[in-house]
Amino acid sequence: MNQIIGTSVSRKDGRAKVTGTATYGAEHQLPDLVHGYLITAKIANGRILNIDTQAIERSPGVMAVFTHENMPRVFTPTNDWANSQIYETRLPLADDRVHYGGQIIGLVVADTLERARDAAHSAAIEYQEEPVLVTAENATYEDSPPWFGEDFQFQEGTFETGDFAVAAADAPTTLEATYNTETELNSPMEPHALVAHWQGNDSVTVYEPTQWVRVSQGTYAELFGLPTERVRVVSPYVGGAFGAKAFPWPHGILCVAAARELQRPLKVVVSRRQMTANTGHRSQTEQTVRLAANTDGQLIALEHTARTCTSPVEVFSEPCTAVTPVMYATPNLRLGQELAVLNVGTPTFMRAPGEAPGMFALESAMDELAWELGLDPVELRLRNETQEHQRRGGVFSTKNFAACLSTGAEQFGWSQRQMQPRSQQQGDRLVGWGMAAATFPGYRGAAMAKVRLLPDETAHVLTSANDMGTGAYTMVAMTAAENLGLPVEQVRVEIGDSIMPDGGLAGGSQMTATLAPAVMNACQAVLETANAENAQQAFASLQESGRAAYEATGSAAPGEEGTEFTFQSWGAHFCEVTVDEDIARLQITRWVSVMDIGRVLNAKTAASQIRGGVIMGIGSALMEECHFDPASGHPVVYDLATYHVPAHADIPRIEVTFVGEPDLNFNPMGVRGAGEIGIMGVAPAVANAVYHATGKRIRSLPIIPDKII
Ligand code: MOS
């Protein structure tokens, strides 16, 4: 057995990405390709009275224009999350209604991008405007419906054990605070874009980045009334997604529909400005946390309520209270979630959806309680550990949260912290140290992979899974190499195509836990087929027999892990900030993250995943916000210059350490996931450090200079 699992292996796809040979969705070159450009609404609520399509059609190079008056027929998909799903259940160009600023109201197709864009921008459109509501404070909230039901283990909505009010009334220490987070945009490097290529009217190839190849395929099949196998989805590379590229959006449906009408390959690229309205975002949140504790810091009662917003055309609530029941033990727990409808685009998943802003509220409140009690915040967390999920039930399969805290504290030098705000200085800057906990559920789905052993002594792994920057190519290659007894260089991985076996979903941090066991089973199956102990023996028997290949498919699915357990990853972040109060300059100068994610498959890419999460969390802590103009209803940010994400200069070296053990109750590889836990707890760690530095408790994100001056 060569020991590849757990080592550091550089990305299999790294060279292709940095040399520009990796082909993304809209980069597929096809003969006779034509270009579509979206027409988007200039009002945020009302009706379209008229679009002068004749004038658009007279524009140079224009071949067609699609509006609600000539939208080609598409069918309503089942939307069952398992076989088909669209993000916004109102179909594109369904009627003359405008529900939010920037909504797609048409598509111009021309021979060049420039001509399509020019015609789309010059379109004369008459509207009937209605009053716009984009201000959450003026919205009417109602109880949130549950997320997707039991299957996905997410639960939200009202929940109560014990009696919060009675318990809190008698407690020696209580705390109540309200926290706000702003609308955030997923902002993947690769914009949303696709090429649709029909072969006649009865089969289509869609080149589109997606986190879930099989469900994209199934969804387009239902939308266009085709058998599943007549739709091919090609997605070998995904340039970031963070939750916003799992299902078709309206622009994708419109592109595929228009391409069928025109019988030409059609490309639609969503501009950065158009992405602010039409490809999802993380809703703003308002959350209240009430804590009651006895004098030694044990929680007697905990209440966490959240308000989030959705669009008029989709119900999507941020499950901010989802992870609260796993964090701290309390006999009296109350959770509540409410949702309001605003004239904004449809929100969706964004890396740890709900959980990340939820953790900002919970972990800020825990820090506030620690100060109130005069307790070290690390110690407060240790005193309140829970060994089971207080909502779902089930003991944690493995939990090394205490080790995350102690290892992080040790590495950071936490014991040197002065237990007083404004007590540490470096020159004329205040220095603050903060920490917060991290957690994320372990999810797992079903997947398949095919393995081929070839006479040139290579192994090929084929699966429809995808790599959105997570390291999936490398993880698959390492798993196969380990199980076949081959060097990783002799494994070729092909992913991201619906003609290959279903590789599952890259979402909810579940691709590794889903796919690695399937790859392992496929490797064992191919060795059995070859009657060999390892790949070398199989290659020798290929030579002898003159066979072209050994091939086998393997699959893995949840179900074997037992119902008594709850699967959860754990972590802790420790950080240092410096604050120059004269110019309100806040810098993050040190960062230590310690994570328990089960078995670490690739030490290098797993640490990079955590770093990516921390960086994204620092973005939400310090800069990311999308406001809507209350008059026009439109987002006031529209590109990566107006919507700030961290640059290199904003980020210190991020030390990442893994602790814990393989979670063999979860799957035979013992892996959970690393995609989302990195962002969990980052924003509160920063806010807690800002308090330690300045004595200012900032309860609203992002912590822009105005808030610390
Ligand atoms: Mo993730 S937000 O489940 O892609």
Q: Is the CB of 507 under 6 A from ligand 1?
A: yes
User: Is 349 near ligand 1, meaning CB less than 6 Å away?
Assistant: yes
Ligand 1 atom nearest residue 349's Cα: 2
Q: How confident is the model at residue 435 (pLDDT cuts 50, 70, 90)?
A: very high
Burial 298-335 (b: 16+ CB within 10 A, else e): bbbbbbbbbbbbbbbbbebbbbbbbbbbbbbbbebbbb
pLDDT of residue 450: 98
Kindly give the residue spans of alpha helices, DSSP state H, lying in 145-232. 164-170, 213-223
Which domains does the chain carry?
14-21+445-557 (3.30.365.10), 32-131+188-241+245-278 (3.90.1170.50), 142-184+281-442+564-708 (3.30.365.10)
- Could you read off the pLDDT of 464-484 as tens digits, one per residue? 999 999 999 999 999 999 999
Q: Which atom of ligand 1 is nearest to the CA of 510?
A: 3
Residue 41 is inside which H or E element, if any? none
639 CA from centroid of ligand 1 (Å): 22
Q: Is 23 exposed, middle or buried (0-12, 13-18, 19+ CB in 10 A)?
A: middle
In this model, does residue 146 exceed pLDDT 80?
no
Ligand 1 contact, 442 CB (< 6 A): no
CA distance 188 to 267: 19
Q: Ligand 1 atom closest to Cα of 243?
A: 4
Residues annotated as part of the active site: 676
Q: How confident is the model at residue 149 (pLDDT cuts 50, 70, 90)?
A: very low
Is 433 a pocket residue for ligand 1 (Cβ < 6 Å)?
no
- Res. 1 pLDDT band, cuts 50 70 90: very low
Which of 154, 185, 349 has the most ligand 1 atoms within 8 A of CB, as the residue to mutate? 349
Quote the ligand 1 centre to 466 CA distance (angstroms). 13
For residue 591, give the 3-state DSSP assignment.
strand
Cβ neighbours of residue 546 closer than 8 Å, sequence gap 6 or more: none
**What spacing in Å lies between the alpha carbon of 271 and ligand 1's midpoint?**
22
User: What is the predicted pLDDT for the residue at 148?
Assistant: 56
Mean pLDDT in residue range 475-502: 97
* CA-nearest residue, atom 4 of ligand 1: 243
Assess whether the C-beta atom of 350 lies below 6 angstroms from ligand 1. Answer: yes
Which of ligand 1's atoms lies nearest the C-alpha of 211? Answer: 4
Mutate-to-test residue for ligand 1 from 351, 514, 679, highest number of ligand atoms within 8 A of CB: 351
- Is 392 a residue whose pLDDT tops 60? yes
- Our answer on whether the CB atom of 218 is closer than 6 Å to any ligand 1 atom is no
Q: Does residue 247's CB lie within 6 angstroms of at least one atom of ligand 1?
A: no
Q: Does the CB atom of residue 245 touch ligand 1 within 6 A? A: no
For residue 598, report the distance from its CA to the centre of ligand 1, in Å.
Answer: 19
What is the residue-averaged pLDDT of the chain? 96
- Tell me the per-residue pLDDT of 263-311, one tens digit each, with 9 for 90 and over: 999 999 999 999 999 999 999 999 999 999 999 999 999 999 999 999 9
Place of tokens 């829970």: 386
- Integer CA distances (angstroms), 515 to 509, 520, 560, in order: 12, 9, 15
Contact 85, 215 (CB under 8 A): yes
How high is the pLDDT of residue 114? 98
List phi, psi (to 5°) of 579: -130, 120
pLDDT band with cut points at 50, 70 and 90 for residue 2: low
Model confidence at 81, pLDDT cuts 50, 70, 90, reads: confident
Counting residues of the chain whose pLDDT is more than 90, the rounded percentage is 95
This model of the complex carries an ipTM of 0.97
| CA-352 nearest atom, ligand 1 | 2
Checking if the pLDDT of 157 tops 80, the result is: no
How remote is the CA of residue 386 from the centroid of ligand 1, in Å?
26
> Which ligand 1 atom minimizes the distance to the CA of 242?
4
pLDDT at residue 155 is higher than 90: no
Whether the per-residue pLDDT at 427 is higher than 80: the answer is yes
The answer to whether the Cα torsion of 666, 238, 521, 481 is positive or negative is negative
More confident residue, 155 or 570: 570
Contact in structure between 123 and 56 (CB atoms under 8 Å): yes
Q: How far is the CA of 350 from the centre of ligand 1 (A)?
A: 6
